Amino acid sequence: MRKPFIAANWKMNKTIGETKSFLDEFIPLVKDAKDVDIIIAPPFTSLGIASAMLKDTNIQLSAQDIFYEEKGAFTGEVSPVMLADAGCEHVIIGHSERRQYFHETDEIVNKKIKAARKQGLDVIFCIGESLEERESGKTLDVLEREVENGLKDVPADGIVVAYEPIWAIGTGKTATIEQAQEAHKYIRERLASIYGNKANEIRILYGGSVTPDNVDSLMACEDVDGALVGGASLKPDSFARIVKFKK
């Protein structure tokens, strides 16, 4: 049985004060939520306050990115050691916005995943096709390439995969249940070709315009094990409803 995994990706949103207000309201709303991993990924500047407030709660902390070196002259970057020190248990790697705006390649993503795992951080590894790739029938090829390159020489432990079709991110266009299940099933097959039976233990999240209104039907798909939520994770009541999805 794969435990559901529901993660909030706040992206470049919320000051320290706004993080505090959110958590003051959110923590009590989900305190009784059982059998689900709840993760929040605030911006770097809010990791400190979030880490302090999440201590002794059922909510885990994630960063949104990482650098692959341990320390040194890399102005502006944050290392795996620093993230663990700041209280992170997880880190999002390979988000399409990082690939698109910051030119992250599969090789960089692979280096980041290895560096995070070396430090004991669990990884939310993002993959997904663009609209153009979907329309030209390349979706499965893109997923295969991203899985194989991103996870090259990476053991299965501590890896969660997030399938995020780029055309569904922040657009209000969710993948249909059929599209999500087809992609997730294919990703699991690719994982099985790398990890064998262990692929059945790897959680595959769906991301892209997940809301309280569509989470139940997405979570009903056989190979959808959780959600990576952007816009709808910014309000406590909306994200709490997603965490408490109905089966």
Q: Which residues are catalytic?
A: 95, 164
- What token pair was written down for 194? 């790398």
Determine the angle formed by the axes of helices 16-30 and 47-54, rounding to 10 degrees: 30
Provide the minimum distance between the beta carbon of 183 and ligand PGA in the complex, in angstroms, as a whole number: 15
Provide the minimum distance between the beta carbon of 231 and ligand PGA in the complex, in angstroms, as a whole number: 4
Which helix (H) or strand (E) is 93 found in, with range?
Answer: strand 90-93
Whose Cβ is closer to ligand PGA: residue 19's or residue 62's?
Answer: 62
Number of H helices, E strands in the chain: 10, 8
Whose Cβ is closer to ligand PGA: residue 88's or residue 210's?
Answer: 210
Provide the minimum distance between the beta carbon of 114 and ligand PGA in the complex, in angstroms, as a whole number: 22
Whose Cβ is closer to ligand PGA: residue 43's or residue 231's?
Answer: 231
- What token pair was written down for 132? 């153009």
Residue with smallest beta-carbon separation from ligand PGA = 230
Measured CA to CA, the distance from residue 20 to residue 42 in angstroms comes to: 11
Whose Cβ is closer to ligand PGA: residue 120's or residue 170's?
Answer: 170
DSSP per-residue codes, 134-179: HHTT-HHHHHHHHHHHHTTT--STTEEEEE--GGGTTTS-PPPHHH
Interaction of residue 43 with ligand PGA, rule CB under 6 A? no
Between residue 202 and residue 231, which ones bind ligand PGA under the rule CB under 6 A? 207-210, 228-231
6, 245 contact by CB (below 8 A): yes
* Among the listed residues 28, 120, 170, 196, the single contact to ligand PGA using CB under 6 A: 170
* Among the listed residues 53, 82, 169, 175, the single contact to ligand PGA using CB under 6 A: 169
Provide the minimum distance between the beta carbon of 234 and ligand PGA in the complex, in angstroms, as a whole number: 9
Interface with ligand PGA by CB under 6 A: which range of 42-50, 83-91, 108-116, 162-170?
162-170
Provide the minimum distance between the beta carbon of 230 and ligand PGA in the complex, in angstroms, as a whole number: 2
Interface with ligand PGA by CB under 6 A: which range of 30-38, 104-112, 164-172, 176-184?
164-172
**CA dist list (Å): 238 to 132, 200, 206, 231, 233:** 31, 30, 17, 10, 7
The residue type found at 186 is: Y
Whose Cβ is closer to ligand PGA: residue 68's or residue 206's?
Answer: 206
* Locus of tokens 């997405």: 218
> What distance lies between CA 167 and its chain's CA centroid?
17
Site for ligand PGA, rule CB under 6 A: 9, 164, 169-170, 207-210, 228-232
